[in-house]
Structure 1
């Protein structure tokens, strides 16, 4: 599971607990005869009835509430835990194809009865989710802010941002890696989990570099106005950004040192 934005240490710890349980579910839950592939833009509950439980086998599934991405399910996570509760307005959609194993409530309960380890892991996952969401609510309610993010998939060689263009968004590399160029000279890389494109957005300057996908990448974009608000609400985002900048500077220094040695 991935929650948007930066979080306090307790939430990060709970997130790791939930993700650990999800990895165990991925391993323990047997394949379902009702295995489906969800295509971009399709709502999960247009394919199966509400009340079914669907384990994500491959890809990422966005949980959407009020036209905003609330959180993202990754392999091992289960969609549909809210069951058939009519008040639950969450929908599940994807940017890229997602594979899921779907179970009716009766079939899922039978699996729990047959495998005590699976049952214990499921309980740990559900309790972890409840605790995670309650702590997350407490974390965000102090500022009532989460960015409205968009996700884009890039193929190797695709330009993510281009030098000289206006900076409208700040980006986070969700999956994959990219190369950074200044005046067609490679000067660094962007790795999974890193924020990039922030300097131009924060200074209202044109992009000072071009970023090109090195492999298949999934990138999250946050409008620069919301990123500024995010920094005010969650100063720890600045620390993460500084870490990224420090690594980029070190990479550039190593490249310059290597070039000098070659000369």
Structure 2
């Protein structure tokens, strides 16, 4: 799971605990997992209700909305349907791209769980961890100082996110997927999940210095320049990481310039 707002170490521990407990339960159920494709632009909550199934995601991600607002993303390894209130009118799971998943029938799983004291104990642990995780997730969005209303975009592999020479209309954070940066058609770097990019042109009020292209299907968070300070407040670790990368790049460039200068220095007698 990836949250829109930056999560605490305690929340990450809850998320990891839920995943481990859910995986342990699926293994002990010893039920065959049927591979299915969740179509793009589909409300997965409706399908989960119709099929009465548990899903484990293999490839791709699902966008989770709470009262119509982005809450988080579920990705590879996440289990959907164990403890999740998919019937709640407040939660929606959306597949922006086709998602590969594995499913097992919920009714059959429940029969096995109720027939085994050990399985029932693990199931209770899953439910408890889910409730704690969900409460912690919603609490993040209940903070009065959080006013960021980001624009989430789904970008297909091969599409351009930023065009070199273009106007700086937003700062971006890569929520899901991978992207590549090109300068004058030459690959200069790769953008990973949680990286922030497009900030330099916003700060300098200049034109874009590189083109960024989605290497895989991506989900990006887009924030206009005037809202950038709110992005710093909500994802400080990501911003700090980006600043450290920029500082490291500048240091490396300075070293190259100094080295080149020394190489061209002539001794005058």
| Structure 1 length-normalised TM | 0.75
Q: Which residue of 2 aligns with 1:5?
A: 5
Question: How has the CA–CA distance of structure 1 residues 135 and 185 changed in structure 2, closer, same or farther, with 3 Å as cutoff?
Answer: same
* 1:132-151 map, 5 Å: 132-142=133-143, 143-151=145-153
Q: Which residue of 2 aligns with 1:56?
A: 56
Question: Structure 1 residues 109, 243: CA separation in 2 closer, same or farther (over 3 Å shift)?
Answer: farther
Q: Is the 8 A contact 1:5 1:147 kept in 2?
A: no
Per-residue deviation, 1:91:
1.8
1:1-263 superposed matches below 5 A: 1-22=1-22, 24=24, 30-32=31-33, 36-49=36-49, 52-58=52-58, 59-80=60-81, 81-85=84-88, 88-113=89-114, 119-142=120-143, 143-156=145-158, 158-213=159-214, 215-224=215-224, 225-232=226-233, 235-249=236-250
Task: State the distance in 1 between where 2:259 and 2:118 align.
Answer: 53
Contact between 1:189 and 1:248, CA under 8 Å: does it hold in 2?
Answer: no
Gaps of 5+ in 1: none
CA RMSD in angstroms, aligned pairs only = 3.8
Distance 2:259 2:177 in 1: 25
Change (3 A) 1:5 1:251: farther
Mark the CA change 1:136 to 1:43 in structure 2 (over 3 Å): closer, same or farther. closer
TM-superposed deviation, 1:41: 0.8
**Structure 2 vs 1, CA of residues 5 and 206 (structure 1 numbering), >3 Å: closer, same or farther?**
farther
Whether the 8 Å CA contact 2:14–2:133 is kept in 1: the answer is: yes
Using the TM superposition, give the Cα deviation of residue 94 of structure 1 relative to its aligned residue in structure 2, in angstroms: 0.7
Deviation at 1:217, TM superposition (A): 4.2
Q: CA deviation at 1:18?
A: 3.2
Alpha-carbon separation, structure 2, partners of 1:179 and 1:256: 25
Confirm or deny: 8 A CA contact 1:154 1:216 kept in the other structure: yes
Q: How much does 1:72 deviate?
A: 1.3
Provide, for residues 53-88 of structure 1, a one-character-per-residue CA deviation record: whole Å limited to 9, x for no partner.
Answer: 431332211122333221112233333421545xx3
1:203: Cα distance to partner? 4.5
- Show the counterpart of 2:267: none
- Cα distance in 2, alignment partners of residues 12 and 116 from structure 1: 29
Q: Deviations over 1:206-249 (max 9, x none)?
A: 22222234x32424122224443232456445323323434544
Shift of 1:253: 6.6
Aligned residues, how many? 258
**Conserved 8 A contact 1:167-1:197:** yes
Q: Aligned partners of 2:90, 2:192: CA distance in 1, in Å?
A: 35
In 2, Cα distance between equivalents of 1:24 and 1:248:
43
SS at match of 1:141: coil
State TM-score, norm by structure 2. Answer: 0.74
Structure exhibiting the larger radius of gyration computed from Cα positions? 2
Give a deviation string over 1:170-199, Cα, whole Å, max 9, x none. 223344443323344443332333211123
